[in-house]
Amino acid sequence: MAKRYATSPNVVELDGDFTHHMLHTRGIRLHAATAGDPANPLILLLHGTFGAWLDFKDVIAPLADEGFHVAALDMRGYGMSDKPPAVPGDEMRIAAGDVAGSIAALGHKAAVLVGHDTGGSVAWACAAQYPERVTALVSASAAHPSDLRRAITARPWNFIPMLTRIAVGKLPSGLLTRLTRLRAPVWRYEMLLNTTPSFQSTQRFGEFLQLRITAAGIGNAMPHIVHNSRLLTPKLRIPLSASARVSAPTLLVHPPQGLWDHVAARSRARVDAPVEEVSIPGSKNLPHIEQPTRFVRFVANYAHSLASK
d(CA 250, CA 299): 11
d(CA 169, CA 301): 36
**Beta 134-140 vs 250-253: how paired, if at all?**
parallel
209 contacts 188 by C-beta, under 8 angstroms: yes
What is the pLDDT, as a whole number, of residue 1? 34
Tens of pLDDT, residue by residue, the chain (309 residues): 334 556 899 999 999 999 999 999 989 999 999 999 999 999 999 999 999 999 999 999 999 999 999 999 999 999 999 999 876 668 899 999 999 999 999 999 999 999 999 999 999 999 999 999 999 999 999 999 999 999 999 999 888 888 888 777 666 666 556 666 778 888 999 999 999 999 999 999 999 999 999 999 998 898 889 889 889 988 887 677 778 899 999 999 999 988 899 999 999 999 999 999 999 999 999 999 999 999 999 999 999 999 776
What is the pLDDT, as a whole number, of residue 89? 64
What is the pLDDT, as a whole number, of residue 165? 80
Per residue, the 3-state secondary structure of the chain, as one string, reads CCCCCCECHHHHCCCCCCEEEEEEECCEEEEEEEECCCCCCEEEEECCCCCCHHHHCCCHHHHHHCCCEEEEECCCCCCCCCCCCCCCCCHHHHHHHHHHHHHHHCCCCCEEEEEECHHHHHHHHHHHHCHHHEEEEEEECCCCHHHHHHHHHHCHHHHHHHHHHHHHHCCCHHHHHCCHHHHHHHHHHHHHHHCCHHHHCCHHHHHHHHHHHHHHCECCCHHHHHHHHCCCCCCCCCCCCCCCCECCCEEEECCCCHHHHHHHHHHHHHECCCEEEECCCCCCCCHHHHCHHHHHHHHHHHHHHHHCC
According to CATH, what is the number of the domain 13-307? 3.40.50.1820
d(CA 256, CA 279): 6
d(CA 172, CA 170): 6
What is the pLDDT, as a whole number, of residue 226? 86
What is the pLDDT, as a whole number, of residue 235? 82
Neighbours of 259 (CB within 10 A): 16
d(CA 47, CA 37): 22
Neighbours of 293 (CB within 10 A): 10
